[in-house]
Chains A and B, each alone.
Chain A
Amino acid sequence: MTGSEYSSMLSASPEMAHKALFDEYFGYAYTIVHNRLRGSASAEDIEECVSDVFADVFLKYERGDFSGDMKGYIGTVAKRRAVDRYRQLKRQAASVSLEDDAAAGLRAATDITRESEKRELSRILLDRILSLGEPDSTIIMQKYYYNKNSRQIGTLIGMKASAVRMRCSRAAEKLKTMLAADGLLGE
């Protein structure tokens, strides 16, 4: 979607314009927010944060400024909102310590010397997951990255929970073998 397309829709019907923009970029914004907050925020917190992103975006475009790359702008707002929400949650949580997963994740992210190594490892991991093919890639991601259970995954991809469990188990074994061959897993 371009700025001028959105502008035309907005002048015809703001609600429809919002819906169209939301439909196109929801996945992108959700991916960013979830990626930043996963492990430190609840599913509800993540949904709240994504809704904040779109509220901000709707407001910005309501002012009549359609310049620049929409996707880039939405990505920037999503990253900023996620950081704000992380700080807010960290402040609210009484028991956040350096041992906390989120804090450890943050520490790792700020460790510049390890950043490039981490990036490479994550690229390999994701490529291997993608190489599993569908529906196994989705099952693995939904199970281990989005922390969904077999029933929820089954609803998403139209499979029975028992079938999801079976495919997940086999896909995880396959992934483990591939990662071991890449030297990413220990003996």
Chain B
Amino acid sequence: MDLLDNADDEMLEKLESLQNVDEDMKRRVFSMSEKKYEKLKDERYFTENDPVEGVETYRRPHWLSRAMAAAAALVLVGGGLGVYKLLDRNGRPDMQSEVSEERPPVTVQVSTQTTTETTTEAAEMTTTETAAEAVQSATEVTTQASEDHTAEKDENEQKNENTDQASPDQLTEEERHQIYNDLFGQYMTLDQKKHTALRSGEEMITIYMLDSEQSSAGIYPEYADKAVEHDGKVYMPINYYKIDNPEFTTLAEMRQVYSAFADQHYIDKVMGADVTGCGNNGFLDVVEANYPDQFVEYEGQVYSLDNEIAALHLEDIPELDGKSFPVSSNYFFWESNYDGKFFEDWQGGYGFTTVDMVLRRQDDGSWKIYDLLMGQSDKAYYSAIAGNEVPTLMANMYDSFQNLAN
């Protein structure tokens, strides 16, 4: 019967005539088709370069692009944990960052005006603070919390003493697992505190991000009512929520705390600009390189794009399995699957979590998180991904790394 595989059109006609349709299956498939169609219809508005035929062409709000860098199979958790910035504009991994660690100067043009005002007072704010300077300024802020964290870091470094200077292929799988567990544990410990704050309207700010320098005509209908025209340009609102974390208050302090376990690349990826000059309900003109990202600072406090997520304790969630995907002497990927959810309040109550992490060896030989992505799904999904040859959530990124390494 294998002869009939990949049949041509004439053969397909004959095969169809020999097919007895299972009515139950047919009903099932129709129901699935309808659900998928409804979903596609919704997603169509988010899809860039979607060839829309016969009707008016819409475009997606510019700021949505970041949220859309997501894998399909799992529900991704944590808006700022996407893979977006790991790839440069040509879609290649940003492996050059091991040469240049310095954060480029951030230039943000700000028009200070609330939505209700009719006149514009344009101002320009130029931030030339580099990442190194930000960290330097953070070290001058001595807090008990950061000292505690440094102590944790020292302990961790001691634990990893034997694995320092070793490239992934020189490490055993157990050692790679240990490195991953240490870093993920530090990340989650901090994350639990980060997300425990209850958010309210008073703790939220809204920044109107530049969407287009054209008029709002042609913007997707469901966003058109949110778009605001100002000074001949179109802006879209983004909400940020204040973080209540005893470990840090400002972005500089947060950078310092995260530097214990996160690579500069990851820190730069998730931590953005100080938007104080913009003001609540203000307009922010940004370019891609200066995007405010997952975390912004406003009046000396860190704000996050995330809200209403509460993390559970790492030790309460059993790890089902974990495996490494080494790609070069300085990088490896690690994937672990957990029989539980890390985020208690996540919609749908998904009870299975996959974590993909990229780890990068630092100049001092220690390992830090270069990138991280978490996804939650049903437990049944585990059977579909168990034994994957590539990291589930970071398959494309893994391919890019391998191509670059080879």
Contacts and interface: CB of A to CB of B under 8 A. Distances in A.
Interface of A: 15, 18-19, 22, 26-28, 30-32, 35-36, 38-39, 47-48, 50-56, 58-59, 62-65, 75, 91-95, 101, 105, 108-109, 118-119, 121-123, 125-126, 129-130, 137-138, 141-142, 144-146, 156-157
A36 B4 CA distance: 9
A58 B3 contact: no
B387 A55 contact: no
A156 B12 contact: no
A145 B53 contact: no
Q: Chain B at the A interface: mostly helix, strand, loop or mixed? A: helix
Given A30-B19, A92-B384, A118-B3, A22 B55 contact: no
B217 interface: no
Contact of B53 (A63, A93, A105, A119): A63
B20 A156 contact: yes
- Closest 10 pairs between A and B when the two form their complex, measured CB to CB: A94-B387, A51-B32, A55-B36, A54-B33, A109-B6, A55-B37, A58-B37, A64-B54, A122-B3, A31-B16
A41 B32 CA distance: 18
A95 B11 contact: no
Given A50-B29, A122-B7, A65 B53 contact: yes
Q: Chain B: interface residue count, which band?
A: 35 or more
A101 B3 CA distance: 12
Interface stretch (B88-96, B110-118, B164-172, B388-396): B388-396
A35 B20 contact: no
A129 B19 contact: no
B16 A39 contact: no
Contacts of A32: 12
Nearest to B41: A59
Contacts of B20: 138, 142, 156-157
B1 interface: yes
7 contacts: A18-B34, A22-B30, A30-B29, A51-B36, A56-B40, A62-B41, A130-B14
Contact of B26 (A26, A95, A125): A26
B54 A63 contact: yes
B1 A145 contact: yes
Contacts of A145: 1, 4, 15, 18
B12 A35 contact: yes
A35 B36 CA distance: 23
B15 A31 contact: yes
B21 A27 contact: yes
A90 to B, nearest CB: 10
B288 interface: no
A92 B30 contact: no
B202 interface: no
